[in-house]
Amino acid sequence: MVLLFAEVQQGNFKKTTLEAATYAAKTAELLGVASVAIVLGEAENAAELGLYGIQKVYQVRHDHLKNFDNQVGAIVLSAAAHQLEASVIVLSHTSNGKALAGRLAARWNAASISGATGLPTLKDGVLHVRKGMFSGKAIAEYALKSEHKVITVMGNALQPLQHGALASVETLSLEVPSPKIKIKEVKRVEGIVPLPEAELVVSAGRGLKGPENWGIVEELASALGATTACSRPVADSHWRPHHEHVGQTGVAIRPNLYIAIGISGAIQHLAGVNNSKTIVVINKDADAPFFKAADYGIVGDLFEIVPKFTAAVKKLKA
């Protein structure tokens, strides 16, 4: 059986969970086994996982599960995996998913893949999974040779696929220890889609000259419904908040559209964004390295181009 850890964020499933559900269902199909999900705590739409091919949802409710803790999560999930006789656990490659996956692999003596970029294949009865390496500059295929396997699914690696009906939801009662980590405060960036989940990203670099010029970037982002990002020197100079910094030392993203404005395209910047489906580069220097990684490019002055770009987007949407 394939067991999905259906991560809940503020009472709901995010797109990353639905992607992982699709991945779990497809993996189960490949192996000819059932696909089930486990939800720790409350989710308003637990049965909806069925739409993505999950056959049954088990919900574990407990006071100790109010906040996610990876140590508690690993104990509960491995107990569930044992009870349900699962052979594969699938998680989303989120902040909490990664920590839980590592713990589970150790606890369950499972071969693990952190950040699978595609669906698994079977070769001579052995499950093979691909993952990105060198920040997206290469792909490695692994053979998972153990009885138990743990896979986290990279965001945007596949699209959630609706093909089933609502799943039945059952309560699973398991012992839940109390977490050793106390959560004092959660600060969320309100009102915008966080970068790791964003499908459209408008990003700007040092070419903007100063923080006072960001208005044109924000207007383009808002016309598109995109999230804003920036290069590292921009965050380091406090022109923009640190959570916007993308690249090797910042956030790694793989949106459908990445628009880079006044960013040279240094290798460390590309490391965080080169898995974007479509890349648009706006730069006045025709030799900027970013053009080599781009799908579409405009050579010219960003201060003239960006406002026109915004106007054209508004016209399309009107």
Partner 1 sequence: MKLLVCLSKVPDTTTKITFAEEGKRFDENGVTFILNPYDEWYALVRALELKEAHGGTVTVIHVGPSANDAVIRKGLAIGADDAVRIDATQSSSLFIAKQISAFVEAEKGYDIIFTGKETINYNRSEVGAMIAEYLDQPFISFANHLEINGSTATLDREIDGGTEVVEVETPFVVSAAKGMAEQRIPNMKGIMMANKKPIKVVPPVPFDEIAVPVFYELPPAKSGVKLIDADNIEELVRLLHEEAKVI
Is residue 197 involved in binding partner 1 (CB under 8 A)?
A: yes
Residues in contact with partner 1, total (CB under 8 A)? 96
Q: For residues 134-163, which are near partner 1 according to CB under 8 A?
A: 134-146
Least distance to partner 1, CB of residue 222, Å = 13
Least distance (Å) from partner 1 to the CB of residue 256?
5
Does 95 help bind partner 1 (rule: CB under 8 A)?
Answer: yes
Residue selected from 173, 186, 238, 287 as contacting partner 1 according to rule CB under 8 A: 186
Q: Least CB distance from residue 38 to partner 1, whole Å?
A: 18
Cβ contacts of residue 39 below 8 Å, gap of 6+?
6, 8, 46, 57, 58, 59, 60
Spacing of C-alpha 107 from chain mean position:
24
Q: Assess 315 for contact with partner 1 (CB under 8 A).
A: yes
Instruction: In angstroms, give the least distance from the CB of 264 to ligand FAD.
Output: 3
The closest alpha carbon to 199, from 151, 159, 234, 230, belongs to 159
Name every residue whose Cβ is closer than 8 Å to that of residue 144 and which is 6 or more positions away in sequence. 111, 113, 126, 127, 128, 129
| 133 neighbors 116 (Cβ within 8 angstroms) | no
Print burial letters for 14-35: b (CB count within 10 Å at least 16), e (below 16): bebbbbbbbbbbbbbeebeebb
Interaction site with ligand FAD (CB under 6 A): 205-207, 231-234, 247-250, 262-264, 266, 268-269, 272, 283-285, 288, 301-303
Shortest distance (Å) from residue 299 CB to partner 1: 7
**Token pair belonging to 160:** 């959630």
Nearer to partner 1, 179 or 233 (CB): 179
